[in-house]
Structure 1
Amino acid sequence: MSDRRTELLELLDRSGASLYALLTRLTLRQDVAEELMQDLFIKLSAAREQGGVECWHAYARRTAINLAFDWRRREKSRRSCPLDESLECVSQAGSPLVKLIESEELDQVLAAIGRLHGPSREAFVLRYIQQESYEDIAQHLGKTPHHVRALCSRAMSAMRDLVLKDGREVQHVEDE
């Protein structure tokens, strides 16, 4: 087995579980996460052949995030009706309709995260989905913890605008 392939297998052995958990959280489906893990392996293998990547763990995580949001964009066209058209008053908190609404609200939030770009999206996902510390995120992104806090703050502000304005893009988060 080549050294590059061995390196890739070691990376997936060390980080595979956390990458799979991240994909599952972003897609909300284990079957899709499994497929995306295969796609991730193929992309990492191709990138290994080309070289030029300094931190493979960060590259793998960024690629996994991008794969998940690419999948969400493709699936967006399959939704049958928007949340606003299906809202009704419900008295039971655990009813199937309430669960459906909560699921669609989560889908709206994840769709809004997908509209963020570059380091803002990555910092937001690492902080609020993966619950990593600002210091760890800063180390992975090559930025200061203060800069990561600013990225997360701007991303959160953009997220609020996107979700509250029915998904219409109000502003773009600019990365520095």
Structure 2
Amino acid sequence: MNANATILTELLLKERPSLLRLIRRIVGTTSDAEDVTQTLWLRIQTVTDTPPINDKQAYLYRLARNVALDRLRAGERREALFASGPISEEIAAPVPSAERHLIDQESLGIVLAAIAGLSPRCREVFILRKIENLRVVDIAERLGISPSMVTRHLQNALTHCMARLADTETGADAS
């Protein structure tokens, strides 16, 4: 620790009760004043020896005031952000309709059936990648196949699943 930081730390310990009173007047509560004092100590640790500080006590009090005002302003910004009223319907995530829920359930069933219809190796590769979230190289190593073969299995699986979904949308499976 450099000389300025050391002296300012010692001064902070000596002047702590007075600094707490000053900070509490600015931020309003004792717990916030304690938090600001901790932040002040952290800020002091970053003070360098250049340029030299002539009046270290004045510097410490000015720094304490600045840190307290920064804390107060941050609280005001936070309050302004969250005090704008109730959350707009445009911001809140919409709840899917019952119809959307049924369509999604049906699509999930189609995809699960399509996965079940894959060859065992293709299905295993698909599950390792899409469900277990393994990397292609990890799947290749685990199954003893090349990464390009893993990629080919994934392409086949995705093409198969997308074709089953498309068949359902066009009504091809209803005939």
**Which TM-score applies when normalising by structure 1?**
0.40
In our comparison, the structure showing a higher alpha carbon Rg is 2
